């Protein structure tokens, strides 16, 4: 499948961040009560700094925004410095006027994961769905913690992490060694993500080049979860030159 994915290639990761932050600011300027989807990881960090800067500089308020995050490590509570709740507070929420009670991150300590996951799905529906969701991509093509093999219609659920994801998240950027990385996570599904009205996936660095090329130009297949975005009506990949280096076109 050739796919509908729109590609924007930028010279630097700073430019990627500016483009993506600009999309979020425009979204909130045009619809102050937007429902936004966020991701964690290294890639969106500069975008979050730029959103915070622009929100102040251009006086765009996030006070009416509701947000949902893609995923959370199973077994970590929000105060743990490697939890995705902690990451979001630290990198974005503490720097804009979004109301904490309007920010939704799955509870990694939930007693009944299936109940937590269904409630998350229901909450997304009850606020009218996600308007704009930012995504990263794993070296193995994963989106959120939907590892290769995840079905196109998967919903929020408890999942196991692959060895490749455990290793890339313990390369010193996050956890110090692989033993510290939780083996499971709560993750929105590919179906959950595909329901968003607009998607923007960011990738930077040569390590992502293979996954990006397969996602955009390879088969529509659960083997490369990001390829399952090819038929989304409004999905843009914002790439730097390194991550775009293996694209044929």
Residue numbers at the binding site for ligand F6R (CB under 6 A): 39-43, 70-71, 136-138, 142-144
The answer to whether the beta carbons of residues 69 and 38 sit under 8 Å apart is yes
- In order of 47, 114, 121, the CA distances from 40 in angstroms are 11, 22, 19
* Structure letter (DSSP) for residue 18: H
Distance CA 213, CA 224 (A): 10
Instruction: Count CA atoms closer than 13 A to 138's CA, side-chain side.
Output: 21
Task: Give the separation between CA 186 and CA 146, rounded to whole angstroms.
Answer: 10
Nearer to ligand F6R, 8 or 64 (CB): 8
Which residue's CB is nearer to ligand F6R, number 170 or number 221?
170
Minimum CB separation of residue 108 from ligand F6R in Å reads 12
List the catalytic residues: 71, 140, 142, 147
> Which residue, 40 or 55, has its beta carbon nearer to ligand F6R?
40
Output the residue with the shortest Cβ distance to ligand F6R. Answer: 136
- Taking the complex as a whole, how short is the minimal distance between the CB of residue 57 and ligand F6R, in angstroms? 25
Measured from the CB atom, is 42 or 118 closer to ligand F6R?
A: 42
As measured in angstroms, the least distance from the Cβ of 183 to ligand F6R is 15
Burial class (CB within 10 angstroms; exposed 0-12, middle 13-18, buried 19+) of 112: exposed
């Amino acid at each position: 499948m050739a796919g509908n994915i729109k590609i924007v290639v930028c010279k630097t990761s700073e430019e990627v961040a500016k483009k993506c932050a600009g999309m979020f600011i425009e979204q909130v300027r045009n619809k102050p009560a937007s429902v936004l989807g966020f991701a964690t990881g290294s890639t969106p960090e500069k975008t979050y700094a730029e959103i915070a800067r622009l929100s102040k500089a251009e006086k765009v308020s996030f006070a009416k925004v509701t947000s949902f995050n893609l995923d959370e490590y199973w077994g970590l509570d929000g105060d743990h410095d490697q939890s995705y709740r902690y990451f979001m507070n630290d990198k974005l929420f503490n720097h804009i006027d979004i109301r904490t009670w309007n920010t939704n991150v799955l509870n990694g300590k939930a007693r009944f994961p299936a109940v937590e996951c269904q409630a998350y799905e229901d909450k997304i529906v009850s606020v009218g769905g996600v308007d704009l969701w930012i995504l990263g991509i794993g070296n193995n093509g994963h989106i959120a913690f939907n590892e290769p093999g995840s079905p196109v219609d998967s919903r929020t659920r408890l999942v196991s992490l692959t060895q490749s994801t455990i290793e890339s998240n313990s390369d010193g950027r996050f956890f110090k060694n692989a033993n510290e990385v939780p083996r499971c996570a709560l993750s929105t599904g590919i179906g959950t993500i595909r329901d968003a009205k607009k998607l923007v996936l960011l990738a930077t660095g040569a390590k992502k080049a293979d996954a990006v090329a397969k996602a955009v130009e390879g088969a529509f297949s659960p083997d490369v979860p990001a390829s399952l975005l090819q038929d989304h009506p409004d999905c843009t990949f914002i790439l730097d030159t390194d991550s775009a280096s293996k694209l044929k076109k």
